Amino acid sequence: MLTLLKLLKDGRFHSGEALGAALGISRSAVWKQLQHLEAELNLPIHKVRGKGYQLASPLILLDADEILTSTPSSDWPVHISESIDSTNAEALRLIGEGQAAPFLVLAEQQTAGRGRRGRNWVSPFAQNIYYSLVLRIEGGLRQLEGLSLVVGLAVMQALRASGVQNAGLKWPNDVLVGQKKIAGILLELVGDPADICHVVLGIGINVNMRNAVDVDQQWTSVQLETGAPVNRNQLVAHLGGQLKDYLDRHRVYGFAALQKEWELNHLWQGRSASIIAGLNQIDGVVLGVDGQGALRLSVDGVETIFSGGELSLRLRDDS
């Protein structure tokens, strides 16, 4: 099916006869493959008698050569899958098979994309970026302090360079435009964080998605914000450049050197908010983050520190 999709990706009409000749199959077999494309990948295909078949909108598929050519400062090997459960899961499998880090895993589609706290990450085919970068960490716990916040800065800068000027951060792992989520981050560790370990930097970015019925929160995408479709290869390349820069600074100077920059871009700085941990809720005012990336919240006038992957920060109604 991927070969057929590559023939159709230009968004022009192609006759069933021409497609069959290119694939070495009958027009009837072409029709069956087109039905599979629509059903399995949710790609609308126009069928016009006398003209043939046309994708509802052109596609630019992920291309490792284009990504590497556009990111001259990076030599990360790139693994691209048509469809997998999740890029983080594939990254963890590759670590187990002995793949040397750093390396990058991308997919056109995820069938079981994961967000924080077990949430499903909606992952339509060839519309968004599903990205997992694997790093080997040898510097101990200091190299992990505030790491998800550092990744958030890189994602935010890549989005701003793509025209989403209002992109900002929400502690600990989200990139928002106003109250709408445009990107999320999920970090997973393998090994001993106090010695040598691998960390998977999982990033999901809504790029060309224009509608989705299964998302359980407010969301937006680069195309919705800018009004134009985006070449995902170029965005992946730019994200790689931003990540390399921020990760290098974090490795040398630690998160404390990036703390003020992160706070300046935190959309909820100074806002009334609540920390949710299971059934518990603590109300306060967001002061910022500390040198390790933990949230600083003023609770009844007393500064309190919160950290942990299972915490959720929500704005209060009176904010």
Among the listed ranges 8-12, 132-136, 147-151, 237-241, which one has the minimum average pLDDT value? 8-12
At residue 303, does pLDDT exceed 60?
Answer: yes
From the list 114, 116, 170, 244, the catalytic residue is 116
What CATH class is the domain 268-315?
mainly beta
Instruction: Give the tens place of pLDDT for each residue, 204-229.
Output: 999 999 876 666 679 999 999 999 99
- What pLDDT sits at residue 183? 97
Residue 312: exposed, middle, or buried by beta-carbon count in 10 A (0-12, 13-18, 19+)?
middle
Tell me the two tokens of residue 116: 């924080």
From the list 9, 249, 251, 314, the catalytic residue is 314
* Span 229-242, average pLDDT: 96
* Span 270-287, average pLDDT: 93
Contact yes or no for 306/275 (Cβ under 8 A): yes
- What pLDDT sits at residue 300? 95
What SS3 state is found at 237?
Answer: helix
At residue 48, does pLDDT exceed 70?
Answer: yes
CATH fourth-level superfamily of 64-263: Bira Bifunctional Protein; Domain 2 (3.30.930.10)
* Residue listed under structure tokens 């499998």: 93
What is the rounded CA–CA span in Å between residue 166 and residue 151?
17
Q: Is 116 a catalytic residue?
A: yes
CA angle 296, 301, 305 (to 5 degrees): 20
- What pLDDT sits at residue 141? 77
Q: Is 32 a catalytic residue?
A: no
At residue 14, does pLDDT exceed 60?
Answer: yes
DSSP classification of residue 177: E
Which of 273, 271, 267, 275 is closest to 311 using CA atoms? 275
Packing angle of the helix pair 16-23, 27-41 (nearest 10 deg): 90
Whole-prediction pTM value? 0.90
DSSP secondary structure letters along 56-110: SS------HHHHHHH-TT----EEEESSBS-HHHHHHHHHHTTPPSSEEEEES-B
Mean pLDDT of the chain: 90
Instruction: Give the tens place of pLDDT for each residue, 246-256.
Output: 999 999 999 99
pLDDT over 90 for what percent of the chain? 63
From the list 114, 170, 181, 244, the catalytic residue is 181
* Span 70-96, average pLDDT: 91
CATH architecture of the domain with range 2-55: Orthogonal Bundle (1.10)
At residue 1, does pLDDT exceed 70?
Answer: no
* Span 64-82, average pLDDT: 88
Cis bond upstream, residue 102 (ω within 30): yes
Tell me the two tokens of residue 170: 């929400």
Instruction: Give the tens place of pLDDT for each residue, 262-276.
Output: 999 999 999 999 999
Domain locations in the chain?
A: 2-55, 64-263, 268-315
- What pLDDT sits at residue 140? 74
- What pLDDT sits at residue 245? 95
pLDDT tier, 117 (very low <50, low <70, confident <90, very high otherwise): low
Contact yes or no for 272/316 (Cβ under 8 A): yes
